[in-house]
Amino acid sequence: MRREMIEVATFRASHDNTTQDQKHGRDKSQHSDSGRILRDNVYGTMEDDALRRDFTVNALYYDARDFTVVDFCNGVQDIEDEVLRLIGDPVTRYHEDPVRMLRALRFKAKLDFTIDQETADPIFELGHLLRDIPSARLFDEILKLLQSGQGVRTFELLQDYGLLKHLFPATHHCLETRGMETGGKYSEDLIFSALRSTDKRIAKDRPVTPAFLFAALLWGPLQRQFRDLQEQGVPPVPAMQQAAMIVLDNQCAHTAIPKRFTMTIRDIWDLQYRLERRQPKQIDGLLAHPKFRAAYDFLVLREESGEQLNHAGQWWTEVQESSDQSRNEMIRSLRNQPGNGNGRKRRRRRQPRKRAPQNRNPES
């Protein structure tokens, strides 16, 4: 028998209510200078609890005693009208918790509801408040946004409402300048390909990893940083490693990506260069690499997004599907291609020049 988890929560009240604890000098509520709630321990009645929730459609209660739905905020009507509406003054509520802006977009994408005009308008002006949210919390919220099964639609909404630049500033810059620099031209197509792939896997109840999505979201900034380092004279492999470190460090300042995911992201990126080159001696090792499948999927998405990779994705697809004999023939054929060592003119090793014998007789 499966174990079932039941969550139990107490009713809470608005933060301007005066409770018995507050009268005794023990204030259970605390706000930052911008109005964000820092501590939330004010308790109240069911109606108090309803009025402090985010949206009217999320403030409904089921009474098991008489099997009725208790609605204090006209949430049932908003569900019927397919409208998302914040409870209370939207500007104040967004200041209390800026993550409510992300929830509004997530619910809109998932439910296909319309956001009430008074609820939607402040989002365009208050997106900067997200910078005050702890980066670890923002990472969790991004997973809810992009791994909800509606990642494509959610990403479009983040762009439309101007919130992407506060979550992924480097990615936003690449998308704004696409076609004008390396890394910007194919970034958007790659991101949407990765999101579509993730949505399909979720629809089929297959596992997904945040590392793959973040690798796609940050591929444009990585390419730009990689190019800058190469222009400074850094060789390709060290340039890629340094670029990955810089891009991930900058992104973690906004969303704290756990180390177990950053390691996978770096593996996916590092393997791209090796998969593109297809060195004959490395083929078997690459196929056996623990992150080969993720890196291969990423390579294929890059090709589908328009990057010119000399049909590397197609080659790796065929080599996986071929028999051992065919695979060996494909690997042997690589040796005949320029740049893989065959046909090079070998330099003859210079023989050391013989020195004339020295006359050790000092009288000669």
User: Cα separation of 39 and 35, whole Å?
Assistant: 12
**What ranges in the chain are assigned the alpha helix state H?**
20-23, 46-51, 75-81, 90-96, 99-111, 117-120, 123-126, 135-146, 151-160, 164-167, 169-176, 187-203, 210-217, 219-231, 236-252, 259-277, 283-287, 292-304, 312-321, 324-335
- Which segment of 8-22, 198-212, 252-266 scores lowest on mean pLDDT? 8-22
Q: Which residue has the tokens 């990057």?
A: 307
What is the average per-residue pLDDT within 19-30? 45
What is residue 44's predicted lDDT score, i.e. its pLDDT? Answer: 83
- Give the chain's mean pLDDT: 85
Q: Please say whether the beta carbons of 217 and 171 come within 8 A.
A: yes
pLDDT tens-place string over residues 207-230: 999 999 999 999 999 999 999 999
Q: How confident is the model at residue 350 (pLDDT cuts 50, 70, 90)?
A: low
pLDDT tens-digit series, residues 105-129: 999 999 999 999 999 999 999 999 9
pLDDT for res 339: 57
Q: Kindly state the tokens that stand for 357.
A: 């014998």
140-147 contacts, C-beta under 8 A, 24 or more apart: 141/99, 141/102, 142/167, 142/255, 143/210, 144/102, 144/106, 145/102, 145/105, 145/106, 146/195, 146/198, 146/213, 147/198, 147/202, 147/208, 147/210, 147/213
Question: Is the torsion defined by CA of 205, 208, 214, 217 positive or negative?
Answer: negative
pLDDT (0 to 100) of residue 48: 86
Place of tokens 């494909």: 330
Q: Which two tokens stand for residue 22?
A: 């507050």
CATH top class, domain 168-334: mainly alpha
Query: What is the pLDDT at residue 177?
Result: 83
Domain assignments of the chain as residue spans, ordered by start: 1-139, 168-334
Q: What is the pLDDT of residue 364?
A: 41
Residue positions counted in the chain: 364
Beta carbons within 8 Å of 118's beta carbon, 6+ residues apart: 85, 86, 90
pLDDT at 347 over 80: no
Give the global pTM. Answer: 0.81
Could you give the percent of the chain with pLDDT greater than 90?
63
Provide the pLDDT confidence category of residue 342 given band limits of 50, 70 and 90.
very low
Q: How buried is 106 (Cβ within 10 angstroms: 0-12 exposed, 13-18 middle, 19+ buried)? A: buried
pLDDT of 362 above 50: no
Q: Alpha-carbon distance 291 to 265, whole Å?
A: 10
